[in-house]
Amino acid sequence: MAGFLIAEAAPAKLNLALHVRARRPDGYHELETLFAFVEAGDVVRIGEGDGFSVTGPFAGALAGEGDNLVTRAAASFAATFGGGPWRIELEKHLPVASGIGGGSADAAATLRALARLQGVPLDDTRLFACADALGSDVPACLLGRTAIGRGRGEQLVPIDGAPGVPVLLVNPLVPVPTAAVFKAWDGVDRGPLPEGGMGAIVHDGRNDLEPPARGIAPEIDEVLDVMAGQPGAMVARMSGSGATCFALFERAEDCEAAKRAMWPDWWSVATALI
């Protein structure tokens, strides 16, 4: 971390269940979702100076971007709390636009890092206002813990999670535009999240965006079929609007073995809930 003042993890976000209830007049959708986070993710580093750079396996996907959620987060923080400019480096390990909140997680990590640098409490309502203005998933990523999200996903109620549960993430590396997936949703309200704790919600919940995403990218079908057939897999489901899918396991050994069974041209990582 030479030359940087702080490094902040940007854990990948999972929608363990995602129920779409209605289209809203403002163009968004009314959602009920169970957010959770895993150990795998990106890293944001902040130092003195100015400028933005990207490193890591998926740096190329953001190459040449002059404006992104990280730079917008820094600008929003500066406008609200002062400070800056800063030199920011994003170490990009998560696929871009893949249903696991990569950009939102990076923006939230930027806000957290700057807040720590300037002594701003992480529960400052102004910080959450910055997050909410940046995108629907950014408040959940700023909170960074298991929570039920309603509204656009920004109305958060923390619940007990299951830290340490092994998780396999798999993405077939095909583009699945979020707007196209929401547009393809059939508009049928299939009901709210199940009652109860995290286990009940995961067991009895669903992802209403999975069918339209599978229609746009049939590769998701293959990913889910392969993941569901792995020994020890308790549930296999798509996260967000895709194309990343996840499987929860009882044992880390089964999760690691399942990773080795995935096709080599898929992105995959064995990780755990936090």
Catalytic residue, chosen from 137, 208, 254, 259, is: 137
SS3 of the chain: the string is CCCCCEEEEEEEEEEEEEEEEEECCCCCEEEEEEEEEEEEEEEEEEEECCEEEEECCCHHHHCCCCCCHHHHHHHHHHHHHCCCCEEEEEECCCCCCCCCCHHHHHHHHHHHHHHHHHCCCCCCHHHHHHHHHHCCCHHHHHHCCCEEEEECCCEEEECCCCCCCEEEEEECCCCCCHHHHHHHCCCCCCCCCCCCCHHHHHHHCCECCHHHHHHHCCHHHHHHHHHHCCCCEEEEEECCCCCCEEEEECCHHHHHHHHHHCCCCCEEEEEEEC
Burial of 151 from C-beta contacts in 10 A (0-12 / 13-18 / 19+): middle
> Quick check: 248 and 202 in contact, CB under 8 A?
yes
Which of the following is catalytic: 13, 208, 254, 259? 13
Concerning whether 259 is annotated as a catalytic residue, the answer is no
Does the annotation mark 13 as catalytic? yes
Q: How many other CB atoms sit within 10 Å of the CB of residue 28?
A: 15
- Residue positions annotated with a catalytic role: 13, 137
